[in-house]
Structure 1
Amino acid sequence: MKLRKCNNCKRYTLKEICNYCGSKTSYPHPPRYSPEDKFGEFRRKTLKEIESSQKEKSLL
């Protein structure tokens, strides 16, 4: 079992559903780092595109 965090109330639990608010939980840990990351370039490019599109939407 791994520690999980509620996306809604930000409490920690071991279950997939939060005991307090009933919403889904997720793993709060970042993905493992590897210097041989084959897809890091694509992930950063996609993130940059998403951020720029969100900025454009906020300006409208």
Structure 2
Amino acid sequence: MKMRKCLVCKIYTFKEKCPKCGAETVSPHPPKFSPQDKYGELRRSMKKSEVKEEIAE
């Protein structure tokens, strides 16, 4: 059983759904570091597009 975080109300729980608001929870832990980062380029491009969307709003 691993700790999870609700992105809506920012509380930590062990459940798949937030007990406070019912939203899905995610793992608050970052991915493990690897020098051979297979998905690094994809992750960075997705992060850039998310930032651009936030600026456009």
* Partner secondary structure for residue 20 of structure 1: coil
* 1:1-53 deviation line (CA, Å, top 9, x unaligned): 100001110000000011111111110111111011133234324433x1574
**Aligned sequence identity (%):** 51
* Partner secondary structure for residue 37 of structure 2: coil
Q: Partner of 1:54 in structure 2?
A: 53
- Kindly report the root-mean-square deviation, in angstroms, between the aligned alpha carbons of the 2 structures: 2.2
Q: Which runs of 5+ in 1 are unaligned?
A: none
Q: What is the count of residue pairs matched by the alignment? A: 57
Q: Which runs of 5+ in 2 are unaligned?
A: none
Q: Partner of 1:39 in structure 2?
A: 39
Q: Partner of 2:3 in structure 1?
A: 3
Pair 54,15 (structure 1): closer, same or farther in 2 beyond 3 Å: same
User: Which residue type is aligned with residue 22 of structure 2?
Assistant: G
* Partner secondary structure for residue 5 of structure 2: strand
When normalised by structure 2's length, the TM-score is: 0.73
* Partner secondary structure for residue 17 of structure 1: coil
When normalised by structure 1's length, the TM-score is: 0.70
Compare CA radii of gyration and give the structure with the larger one.
1
